[in-house]
Structure 1
């Protein structure tokens, strides 16, 4: 038996434990987190006091649901471009290992300890183990994804190639010259690699050794999963998390949804209210990681999902998220990046020629596409606008200038997500 795999077959003992026992253990850990955060986090103490609560009031899961959720926009305002970060930390900068930056800008502190972001459980469920050589294609620059997903692989005994994104020809050279058995990145990018490799005359099954791919940061359609799995003869498993809190859920071999992570409390709640909803009802994913340095208690992610609490053939007892079913607010996640209309408005202000605008997200052929539709008063340098948009929001859009006399519908939302899954 591989030394990196526990005898139970699960990474965490909580994965296969009776649900009542799991709930008791989690509530005990949660109580310690609440007391610690109330004492040391200005943000959490203020939120509790505004609700008329102290940690001693939280004696049940029903009491826990009385704590007001923390929305992503609230978090952005609290951080105040970094100036307010101290009010969210419990031990100051001295209690951190790293600070990342995501679009917003939103800062993502990383506390101490191995596998801080909690993805080892997900990688183990996907089948990664000691002896695997894994190509990491998420970014290592400013954003947390690369290191967030590298460290759990090291915990499992894997070796990692920190390839980062892009440079597809180099990616193919690495994948074919070295005995790479694992891929981490976006499925759509692995599909791009497949197309480019075929153009070079490579045989995806003969010239590649890929066995497992772990994908995240975009919605995975079953058609794209099957297409890429069949092309390489590998297995694709997906995980779900955010740059703020790390792993929230992940797939097992049974593909019955994404199991709630054992490293925190996952809730499905009524958007805007924070009231937990029963299994089967669609609501907002709210997550509390067991993280003492940066305790984001009841973080409302803005993602919509629902719980499936029927038994899973894999033996894990946690409820499962039935995918990500949409967004609860006016943002959209495109190719792993959140698109905020407020950021786009900042770009538009630099171009007086623009009279009106709208962002449209589609997914023709299962691939995300970003378009900005513009009504202009005078000629516009669309290439310059696209470059400015990319510099601010990290993605380059297709720019469509509507014909003279054509306007956007009155009251049209600044962002419309027309993707179909």
Structure 2
């Protein structure tokens, strides 16, 4: 579907007064947080908010932002959810673990992470057969997308990660018309299918978890005939934004309040001015108030002609926190530190993320101690266990890595 705005919108996607809807949502999130979240309740009371009353989004201005990078320490001090869970453990459907490590609850509600609007906007329909290549093991990505697809009425093929040849063949045999996963793995599947003489059947894809440079989008759409849409969300907050037919920015998803704040001053940024995406969610299971995702974006100032009244984010502009996303998975410096702690022969190390042929590559450079060289294969195994990613390890000359060098750097070009 090439024309913009032909898909019907529900009231949540296009309320007549979006700011008023956001104010009501913020007030409900505050009420739930005061009643159910010890962590958020502390920050609200410190800001002078001790009782639920109409304040709207502007009333959150003095509430301190909780950084996503602070969750591992909070959860370690008060397991398993750092005092943020709004229900008893026994009523959860699943408990997931994201890299960090961060524990993520999943409540009983259908489409718990509210992904269905993103799939509808991308044109996924009832009875579509869709290959979901996000992981179903421990991390929540596979289940996040699975629930949204089922809410739309799609038939889900739970492919998970890896097994490229088998997934390409199975999807073709089933006539799968949809794909869900990172854009880089979609390219890998399509190219492997061509090599193996497999007919590609994907017509559309919803991609997330990794950047989508313009040249990669063109390659997928013009070179392979797949219409590609982006979705943006986290395991903590669920869906945050998604593309419509215009493919010109991410509409703020129904069910969350989104602010873009200056990382230093915590003041709201003007449209066009980059800042951190900060989310407030009225989720009874896991109420969030001013949750800092660590992602950088900016609001668009122009309206979209698709009919949605929600504001739009301009896309992913980088990270404020220490975590770096690699092949759809966050890698934190603490993971590298834990993996290499006590490893024989390691004096210093530094991770670097690069991109080769639209594929993320994580390389860890290691300086050896004077007494012995490190076992690079052992280090690679340690890092793979810690990050659940394939990691290339290489030895470098002494004093190559400065003493104050950051533990991980992102050297990918963004476009």
TM-score tier, shorter chain, comes to over 0.9
Deviation readout 1:233-266 (Å, 9 max, x if unpaired):
1201010111211110001110111111111101
Deviates more, 1:274-283 or 1:57-66: 57-66
Whether 2:273 is the aligned partner of 1:253: answer no
Deviation readout 1:317-343 (Å, 9 max, x if unpaired):
212111111110222111111111122
Does the 8 Å CA contact 2:80/2:103 hold for their aligned counterparts?
Answer: no
Aligned to 1:16: 14
Q: 2:378 and 2:207 mapped to 1: Cα distance?
A: 33
Where do 1:358-377 residues align within 5 Å? 358-377=350-369
Q: 2:237 and 2:30 mapped to 1: Cα distance?
A: 16
Whether 2:340 is the aligned partner of 1:348: answer yes
Q: 2:305 and 2:203 mapped to 1: Cα distance?
A: 22
Deviation readout 1:343-400 (Å, 9 max, x if unpaired):
2112222213111111111123332111111110221110110110010112222112
Aligned to 2:291: 299
Return the structure number with greater relative CO, CA threshold 8 A, min gap 6.
Answer: 2
Does the 8 Å CA contact 2:363/2:394 hold for their aligned counterparts?
Answer: yes
Q: Deviation at 1:232?
A: 2.8
Deviation readout 1:149-184 (Å, 9 max, x if unpaired):
011111111111111111112112212111211111
Aligned mate of 1:43, from 35, 39, 44: 39
Q: 2:78 and 2:163 mapped to 1: Cα distance?
A: 32
Deviation readout 1:1-20 (Å, 9 max, x if unpaired):
xxxxxx983443132334xx
Cα root mean square deviation, aligned: 1.9
Q: How many residues align?
A: 408
Aligned to 1:386: 380
Q: Deviation at 1:36?
A: 2.2
Structure 1, unpaired ranges of 5+: 1-6
Q: 1:94 and 1:346 mapped to 2: Cα distance?
A: 31
Aligned to 2:412: 419
Q: Deviation at 1:282?
A: 0.4
Does the 8 Å CA contact 1:57/1:63 hold for their aligned counterparts?
Answer: no
Aligned to 2:226: 234
Q: Deviation at 1:410?
A: 4.1
Aligned mate of 2:254, from 240, 262, 276: 262
Secondary structure of 1:87's aligned partner: coil
Aligned to 1:332: 324
Aligned mate of 1:407, from 400, 404, 410: 400
Secondary structure of 1:135's aligned partner: strand
TM-score under structure 2 length normalisation: 0.93
Q: 1:217 and 1:68 mapped to 2: Cα distance?
A: 27
